[in-house]
Amino acid sequence: MKVLFVFKLAVFISAFPLMFGCQKESLHSSDLATQNVARNAKVNKANALQEHKLKGKYTAGYYTFLPGAGYVAPNPAPGWYPGTATVGQINLLGKSKAFVNMYASFGPYGLQGIPASLNLYAPFVNELNQLGIAVPEAVAIILFDKHGNSIWARGKGIIPLTPVSATQVTFSGESEILGGTGKFANASGSYNFSGYFNPQDTKDVGLKVHEGTIIY
């Protein structure tokens, strides 16, 4: 009887490290699972679309006037106004450039503009191609940097063009964001804009992006 008791005690003692080891392994596996869940949550949060404020302005640039059918000089329309903003900064892009294209005509309320595809103007297409950027036909505005990041947009509806003086025509409106490249791929949102151009000086232009919202 005493021998049997000693044998059972020896078996229990020999099994104790194995039991403790299994428990320790179970706790270790649980810790790893918790760490993996936390890590995956961080990755999902990093990859989730987030809303950002968008604003900035361009203080220098130039435009070209391409007369449309029936144009009579020195009228400002009908015709296309592809413009380039060369000096400016957007909060999410830093130092950047902008291309804008618009078709101007005389409507029921006077001089007006409608968005026109950037692809209609070869110099835009050529420069963007050098950066590896190709925009859809619907894009009439692009804000971009030298690293290949770009925001694509198009003005909504008819844009009033208001002659303030012989040397300044102002405009304003709202743009819908249609995507982009780099960190702005698949971006969406909208922003308000305003600007001006000088009908007598193609190097006297300005463009401002008022605070808007971009999701990417």
Query: What pLDDT does residue 10 have?
Result: 44
Q: Which helix (H) or strand (E) holds 2?
A: helix 2-47
- Distance in angstroms (rounded) separating the CA atoms of residues 121 and 171: 21
What does the pLDDT look like over 109-145, one tens digit per residue? 899 999 999 999 999 999 999 999 999 999 999 999 9
Regarding beta strands 51-63 and 66-67, do their DSSP bridges make them parallel or antiparallel, or are they unpaired? Answer: unpaired
3-34 residue pLDDT tens:
444 334 344 445 444 444 545 555 455 565 55
Residue-wise pLDDT tens digits, 33-73 = 555 555 554 544 556 789 999 999 999 999 999 999 999 99
**80 three-class SS:** strand
Average pLDDT of the chain to the nearest whole number = 85
Q: Is the pLDDT of residue 212 over 60?
A: yes
Cβ atoms of 184 and 150 within 8 Å: the answer is yes
In the 8-state DSSP scheme, what is residue 184? G
Beta strands in the chain (DSSP E): 51-63, 66-67, 79-80, 83-90, 94-95, 97-100, 102-107, 110-115, 141-144, 150-155, 159-165, 168-181, 188-198, 201-215
Q: Measured between alpha carbons, how far is 185 from 182 in angstroms, rounded to an integer?
A: 6
Contact 206, 58 (CB under 8 A): yes
Task: Judge contact between 104 and 76, C-beta under 8 A.
Answer: yes
Residue 28 pLDDT: 53
d(CA 196, CA 205): 6
Cα dist from 180 to 68, 94, 134, 211, 214, whole Å? 30, 16, 10, 18, 11
